Amino acid sequence: MSPRRGRSKTARSAGERLRPIEKCIGHRFRDRALLALALTHKSSLPQEEGAPRAHDCNERLEFLGDAILNCIVVEHLYRAYPDRDEGYLSKLKS
């Protein structure tokens, strides 16, 4: 069974809607579902029994991205200011 055969018509059309984004940024995603997730804000999801599920929107990816960016900033500050103490570096990070 081919990978495309098992997908619904809706999934294929969603993937097709993402092609202009890929073209604009010059990158083709292997997993377009991940791209769709990254672009999905929780306010756009239907309310099912209360709040949307966390794994249906980009908030968990945002959390991960924030942590990675924080790590990059901290490493940069650590290397850029080798003679400064933790308090100074913390103020710069803020």
Question: What is the distance between the alpha carbons of residues 69 and 67, in angstroms, rounded to a whole number?
Answer: 5
Prediction pTM value: 0.64
Helix or strand holding residue 68 (H, E):
helix 59-80
- Residue positions counted in the chain: 94
Q: What long-range pairs does 31-39 form, CB within 8 A, spacing at least 24?
A: 37/61
For 39, residues 6+ apart whose C-beta sits below 8 A from its C-beta are 18, 21, 58
pLDDT in tens, 33-59: 899 999 998 888 777 666 656 678 899
Identify the H or E element spanning 17.
helix 9-25
Spans of all domains in the chain: 1-39, 55-94
pLDDT band at 80 (very low <50, low <70, confident <90, very high): very high
